[in-house]
Structure 1
Amino acid sequence: MNAEGMPSRCGLRVLVVEDEAATRQELVRMLGESPDVAGVTEADGGEAAVRLLGSAAFDAVFLDITMPGLDGMALARVLGQLSGPPAIVFVTASEQHAVEAFGVGAADYLLKPVRAERLAEAVARAAAALPRSPAGPGAPPARAADELAVVRVETGRHTVFVRRDDIQFAAAHGDYVRLHTAGDSHLVRLSLAYLEEAWAPAGFVRAHRGYLVAIRWISDLWVSSSAGLVARTPAGDVPVSRRHARAVKERLFAHVRDAAQ
């Protein structure tokens, strides 16, 4: 698709820079289906992208890192010198460049193969990184993050109110969920699936089929000889399954990036 004739502000004008044709075409297709994207232009490498920058303006650039010639990191530094630099989202197969990526101001860092829900989140992050009014055209829709901000726990003749922000992780117990805070735990009759959906905007992510963890409470990830990958929190260790490991790492990368800004 060509950048010429794109609507100017009804959505993001996106440039995809990727040397692998099949990967590039799939990313172009997925971005083209996003309601927050006005149009997508593609380039098969860094040099081609620089040539496009001379004749077209973009709001966001989704680019690979490992490319022949001008690689993704070098291109990101070129983009940063523009008078109105676009938001940068790296799309790569390796985690090893994440720290460097956020060091050059990346809005997000996606791992291949790209999942639709993570791509949607990256588009929203790119839109939020642009210097425009949050309520203006192209801004991501607001998401309600106050659902179950306080959980009511009935314990015999006592009622305890637990702030969601104090909950570090939640563990499934049959038809119940045990909520773990720094100094206590509380059993509530809720499903983990419901909490996963309700608390996603507040930074909770599924770490294991039986666990949710609050990203902001993770101090580090480590590999235990007995439990495999584990997320450490002050309230205790949370197992991270192979199925959910990538999502946890991506969210943790993003949280650390945001905290550093």
Structure 2
Amino acid sequence: MEATAPIPPGKELDQAHRRRRWLMIGFWLLVFVTAAIGNTMTSRMDAIRYNIAAPTWQIATNEFSSITIGLFILPFLLWACDRWPLHADTWRRRLPLYFLGSVAYSAVHVVGMDLIRILVYGSFGSRYEPGPWTTQAVYEYLKDVRTFFLIVAVGHMVEWFGRHIKGEASLLDVPDEGPPVEAVDRPERFLVRKLGRDFLVATADIEWVQSAGNYVNLRVRGRDYPLRSTLAALETRLDPAVFVRAHRSYLVQLAQVTAIEPLDAGDARLHMTDGTVLPCSRRYRESLRAAAAGAEPALARA
């Protein structure tokens, strides 16, 4: 039987995240272009009303050079929001970094749009004069910082809402009063919040865990639930006789592995009960086989 290529776990969740990313880019493209067109029209009306010598090409260049650079920076800003998200337990530490990021955002924005204006003005036989750079830097930053944090706020809100639609998991904490219902250092269940409702997912139902940046995805009966944790931290809280590291990005439940397929390079493929094929790196292959030897002899012989 011909081996199939590995199917990336968390595919459904990753696709939803990519859809949200493109939705965000499309939304800001519409907002920026609409604002530039509107500002160009109103500035042209003001020039006519007050007899200001400002041709239409000049006004349009000033407006569209700004949004061009803003849209160029946008994917990097959205990536940074994913890489260093603001949460209840991280915002105090990361907020100063976001303010530094807003300064960098404004610097790139100002330099980029000035270069575009210099080139366009020159093509029309004119000369662009931005004025004193300190005045321009302060003036533009006071505008850019608002745009920067508006994009950050909307991006976080969209991602938060998207995770809650799919269902976001969390570890059960020690209660404020009374003993815990179970050992919190070795959780038997995870709390999942979805569309304002809470329900419990049994740890025994988790088929595998995939690292995904600041989150890990818990695979449960064909669905992925993001949990804000590192894979290493979660591994210490799961039973090592049940969940075994197969790759630097994956933990698998041994009972869900039906076969271990060796590869020439020393790596392997893990065939799961639902038909998904996961990667197993050479570094973890032998330890996984040793763990499987005590649970399922057929796997150890693979």
The structure where helix makes up a greater share of residues is 2
TM-score by length of 2: 0.35
Larger Rg: 2
Relative to total residues, which structure has the larger strand share, 1 or 2? 1
Q: Report 1 or 2 for greater relative contact order, CA contacts < 8 Å, sequence distance ≥ 6.
A: 2
TM-score w.r.t. the length of structure 1 is 0.40
